[in-house]
Structure 1
Amino acid sequence: MPVPAVSTGRSNHRWQNKVVFQKWLFILSATTPAFGGYLLFTLYPNILSIYYSLLNWNGIRQPVFVGIQNYMTMFEDQYVWRALWHNLVYTLAAPPLVILISMVLAYILVNKGYLFSSIYKLLFFFPNVLSIVAVSLLWAFVYDGSFGLLNAGLQLIGIDTGSFYWLGEKGTAFWAVIPPIVWASVGFYFVVFLNAMSAIPKSLYEAAIIEGASHRVRLVQITFPLIMPIIRVSAIFLMLSMIKGFENVLILTNGGPSGSTDVIGLYMFNIAFGKGSHDYGYASAIGMFLFVILVLAKLIIDKFTANRDAEF
């Protein structure tokens, strides 16, 4: 009696289903922790903030629904617009300085061939290792009127400032916030630009040298265009961090004197958690407004900056 042929169609189908199941099981197991963390720590708090922004609530008593009243109050609040103006000035001042200094340092280290270049890399990157708190406390000591390094350095070159406290006057305190930000940020972007410049073929620089191009010409006409995508991304991160950041201002001046250094993030923080003020609803409304500003800033940067891949 002949043996019937074994059908392989059903077994192949089962095997394919098993492979597909294992594939999706691996994808879910690999992405669930990251996606779950995003939902729990990013998306859920943002959605909750939208709800809080419609309430009059101090975190303890029963919340009262007030609709868009918090937003109406915010648009009439002169301190919000003053803080936003400070954010705008800091955003226009600090990121260009960080990018320029980082690019120049990286270009020098790549093209000059100094001895012990690894030591220079370590020294330039060291401020980035420090926390914002440590950097701010360090610069608060630099600006101190009695024992500050800035006053001591000026006295060495014949400029007697006495015991002038740089963070105690409106005019000087406002601009004194920028150097700590630049000093703490240059190290990271120096490494970014250093790696980008190291990838540029040396033959391009050699051809420019033969043509008699100076270092300035090589930097502007060769290096700058070829690493433009890196510069663009760096500018986006720097500008967004300047708009939403406030930790260094909190430690250096806490927005003083008389609100002359206040920024929108610090103003929101003080409303929510400051002494004698716990208006979570109003702070959430400001937070939503800040979110819209960040999105618009990103769209504006994308609109007016080229997004081209470097080719060489």
Structure 2
Amino acid sequence: MPMLKNARLQKSIFLFIVVAPAFAAYVLFTLYPNALSIYYSFLEWDGIGAKTFVGWDNYIRLFHDPFILRALGHNLILLVTVIPITLIISLVLADLLINRAFAENSFYKVLYFFPNVLSLVVIALVWSFIYDGTFGLLNGILRALGLGGEHNWLGSKGTALLSMIPLYVWCYAGFYVVIFMNAMRGIPKSLYESATLDGITHMQRFSKITLPLLSGVIRVGVIFLMLSVIKGFEYMFIMTQGGPGGATDVISLYMFNFAFGSLNLGQHIYGYASTIGMMIFVLLVGLKLILDKFFAKDSIEY
């Protein structure tokens, strides 16, 4: 018994040593900042000077801010376009690379993943050149095809936000191609062989076997894409600054501008920015709960 107790104690000490650094980092860099954001959302504060407690005033201001709805509308457009397009392209490419067994599969895999190793600034500058209204690549292609090619894609309210959709898809699709390929490799080949003997087509095999068995991976992919689309604003910040006329102003960029002074004549409004951050948190939790209604949490057994 003493030896058993000693073994349990050693195991507990070992687990504590292993888990403690990661848990401490989580508390320090995640829980603590989030708790501070909740506190800051009840303050009138510029991030540096004296703090003034204003209660629910920031939240009341939030519900009367017309630019909040505009920014959320832009996020909604990106959500309903970027996520399905990215997932469809990723699933199709992954299925082709797995089942067609091209000799160049390794090259394609690296090629699709390449955007994920590039700097955000580099990607934004490359796509700014593509969309440039004077000497951009896209206008050059359109002129070569005799389709005009004089449009200012990022300078027009009608096309600025839509121009961001191919950029997002290009950046994210390659990562999920690799994820889905690895998940597809885990599906037993015997399932496909049995289905082939039953005479089903490739499309039926994909819809009846592959997709159901990848539902858990697809669910995780939707969650991470949702987080990226709602929380990300770097491309808009670099390429358009939210313009023209607020056409690409998304909710995270709107929050960033309040926190770091691009709005309100250079004055920081850190308290109100924290309130917007709390709204984003509630929005993400709500979307996660809605997503759970459409995707089963239980994994499908082979």
Q: TM-score range by the shorter chain?
A: over 0.9
Match of 1:309 in 2: 299
For 1:135-284, what aligned pairs fall within 5 Å after superposition? Answer: 135-162=123-150, 164-275=151-262, 276-284=266-274
Q: 2:25 aligns with which of 29, 33, 37?
A: 37
Q: Which runs of 5+ in 2 are unaligned?
A: none
Q: Show CA shifts across 1:41-93 (max 9, x none).
A: 00001111111111111123211110110110011000011111111111111
Q: 2:115 aligns with which of 102, 123, 127?
A: 127
Match of 2:15 in 1: 27
Mark the CA change 1:210 to 1:268 in structure 2 (over 3 Å): closer, same or farther. Answer: same
Q: Which runs of 5+ in 1 are unaligned?
A: 1-11
Contact 1:240/1:297, CA 8 A, preserved across alignment: no
Letter in 2 for 1:86: H
Q: Show CA shifts across 1:248-284 (max 9, x none).
A: 2211211111111111100000001033130000001
Letter in 2 for 1:42: T
- Whole-Å separation in 2 of the counterparts to 1:129 and 1:60: 36
Distance apart, 1:16 and its partner CA:
4.2
TM-score, normalised to structure 1's length?
Answer: 0.91
Match of 1:56 in 2: 44
Contact 1:56/1:282, CA 8 A, preserved across alignment: yes
Contact 1:246/1:265, CA 8 A, preserved across alignment: yes
Letter in 1 for 2:73: W
Deviates more, 1:218-227 or 1:293-302: 218-227
Percent of aligned positions that are identical: 53
- Whole-Å separation in 2 of the counterparts to 1:283 and 1:233: 29
- Whole-Å separation in 1 of the counterparts to 2:127 and 2:216: 32
Q: Compare CA radii of gyration and give the structure with the larger one.
A: 1
- Whole-Å separation in 2 of the counterparts to 1:303 and 1:192: 23
Letter in 1 for 2:233: F
Distance apart, 1:201 and its partner CA:
2.5
Match of 1:8 in 2: none
Distance apart, 1:138 and its partner CA:
1.4
Match of 1:109 in 2: 97
Letter in 2 for 1:80: I
Contact 2:141/2:149, CA 8 A, preserved across alignment: no
Number of residues paired by the alignment? 299
